Amino acid sequence: MSSAKYLLVLEDSASRLAAIESAARRLSLKVAHWSDVHAMRAEAPAYFNATKIISLDYDLSGSPYCETGDPGTGQEIVEFLLNYQAFCPVILHTSLDNRGKTLAAMLQAAGWQSEWIGLKDQNDLKRWEMTINVWTSEEG
């Protein structure tokens, strides 16, 4: 992971993940992806030193983890992140407007740069990619 720049993603939709991965390549970011909060909480901290941005879904009802247990929600990852001092921006890409706005506000109140972008259509994906590009460019 040494000099790689990572985008950490919580997402259960294969099509949405493919779009995110395509955008990440254009932005020269490597993707580390999880479809359940349990695995993300356990594995993501190993990436934190090389993380440039985090993008979180809220509802993980399409997660393969649903077959064996509760995959959790993006809110659980936000609450997990609140145990850390802010180290990168976070986008809430859930299509659930109120959840996304609430979680972004929780992060902002704790000093994290955060925004909700619903990823409901192609225009949202372009805005998501542009936001990441601006945020990662600001960091240098």
Q: Where are the domains of the chain?
A: 6-139
pLDDT at 1: 45
Q: What is the pLDDT of residue 119?
A: 85
Beta-carbon contacts of 8 under 8 Å, excluding residues fewer than 6 positions away, are: 31, 32, 33, 34, 40, 44, 47, 51, 53, 54, 55
Q: So what's the pLDDT on residue 32?
A: 98
Tens digit of pLDDT at every position of the chain (140 positions) = 457 799 999 999 998 999 999 999 999 999 999 999 999 999 999 999 999 999 999 999 888 877 778 899 999 999 999 999 999 999 999 989 999 999 999 999 999 999 999 888 889 989 999 999 999 887 54
**The pLDDT value given to residue 139:** 59
110: how many CB neighbours lie within 10 A of its CB?
A: 15
Residue-level pLDDT at 103 = 97
Please say whether the structural domain 6-139 has been given the CATH code 3.40.50.2300: yes
- Tell me, yes or no, if the pTM score tops 0.85: yes
